[in-house]
Amino acid sequence: MAADGDIERTVEPSSAADAGSATAHDAIIDVRNLQTAFFTEKETIRAVDGISFDIDPGETVGIVGESGSGKSVTARSLMGLIESPGRVLRGSSVRYRDMDTVRTFADEFPKRTVDVADLEATYDAEELFASTAATPQEFGYADPASVPLVDVAAAGYTDELGLTSGNECVFVTDGSADSAAGIQRGFVEISRLSGEPQRKMRGGRIAMVFQDPLTSLNPVYTVGNQIKEALRQHQGIRGKAATQEAAELLEAVGIPDASRRVNEYPHQFSGGMRQRAVIAMALACEPEVLICDEPTTALDVTIQAQILDLLAEIQESRDVAIMFITHDMGVIADVSDRVNVMYAGEVVESADVVPLFEDPKHPYTRGLLESIPGHQSGKKLSTIEGSVPTPNEPATYCRFAPRCPKSFDECHEVHPVPIPVEADGEADHTAACLLYPDDVSTAEAVARHGGRSHGGDGE
């Protein structure tokens, strides 16, 4: 096995802007410094390398990038589906902030609930933080004194600190853990879930639709039986009521003659109908968040449009948040409110969908847009030469540099972090590129990414 002893310490810092944006509004999912690595005998592959983003209730967040950029590993990390030799690394935090879920979990799993106000009353946060292997930059802070204890605990350092067993998953941050009904603030730490809490979260609160519906459906059970199993597991609905509900779900996703079709097997459904059935299964659990991993890639264009329309209808009628993963910029433009562009395990640009498409900043995003047929009428279709590198070492430079038409010397020496594209801009449009902020000199921009300011304009 590759040595992994200090991999958690070598991540690039999430920016202060990330830390700020993570709490700036009422996100239902708040991903901070997520790192997922696969350990092989030869190397450590850092498939997701310190990404941060959030998803608000009822919005669609797109994750786009080429194959190998880490999109699907991000989705699987959120669902707790990373298997050996991979794992989500200490220092990562994925927070589920729905308060109804926090209260329910605190009530059902009191031994796995940590009251941070109690911890803070007992321990000195700065002293405890100093005894971990973490750096304040990993949490988006420059000063150790400003790192909240809740961040240290949620990111998995509790064992190291000797505070608890390390199995906790619910963090209450207002000192009201004794009475679940009184809890006002807190979150469920998805990256620390296991056992029954994980089963309840996966499917019950967050559901996933995969690219190939055949891998999600069991060929030896009827479609109806598979939906009924989800209803039994997560809603406790059985018997005739479950059959009725399964047929209604199939009807809701546009399956004609649903009461008959509910008794058919997956091989009797067309590709588009199978994907609709998988979406019906996901909805059976009434999730607040739906993760769609390339759900239309295996379908022809007409069916693809129908499935996208269906997802839009579902979002409007059920108010679910959707994380939509695809390599297709056209699809992302159709479905997303906000977009995160991934490259080699990192988020390289993040913005609302209109500014991202009208005024893309990162050279990789520009390259992706210029390679869409018809995007620039009258111009020759561009390609991005080369392929996505395997991120098998800590990033000490820009991973896009070997393919970037704008690269300059510092790009091979300084690792860019996501920062606002304008010097005094908001954190709602960020780029991990040394050309930004673009309203300061390149030397100043490089310095803001953590590199030395040594003059010279690389443009």
- Contact between 445 and ligand SF4 per CB under 6 A: no
189 phi, psi to nearest 5 deg: -85, 100
- Contact between 51 and ligand SF4 per CB under 6 A: no
- Contact between 406 and ligand SF4 per CB under 6 A: yes
Closest to ligand SF4 by CB, 258 vs 434, is 434
Rounded to a whole number of angstroms, the minimum distance from the CB of residue 414 to ligand SF4 is 8
- Contact between 400 and ligand SF4 per CB under 6 A: yes
Binds ligand SF4 (CB under 6 A): choice among 36, 350, 407, 430: 407
Closest to ligand SF4 by CB, 292 vs 421, is 421
- Contact between 208 and ligand SF4 per CB under 6 A: no
- Contact between 277 and ligand SF4 per CB under 6 A: no
- Contact between 384 and ligand SF4 per CB under 6 A: no
Closest to ligand SF4 by CB, 110 vs 386, is 386
Closest to ligand SF4 by CB, 78 vs 404, is 404
Closest to ligand SF4 by CB, 206 vs 411, is 411
Binders in 321-380 for ligand SF4, by CB under 6 A: 362-363
- Contact between 398 and ligand SF4 per CB under 6 A: yes
Distance CA 442, CA 419 (A): 14
Q: Segment near ligand SF4 (CB under 6 A), from 43-51, 283-291, 311-319, 428-436?
A: 428-436
- Contact between 250 and ligand SF4 per CB under 6 A: no
Residues that bind ligand SF4 (CB under 6 A): 362-363, 398, 400-401, 404, 406-407, 411, 416, 433-435
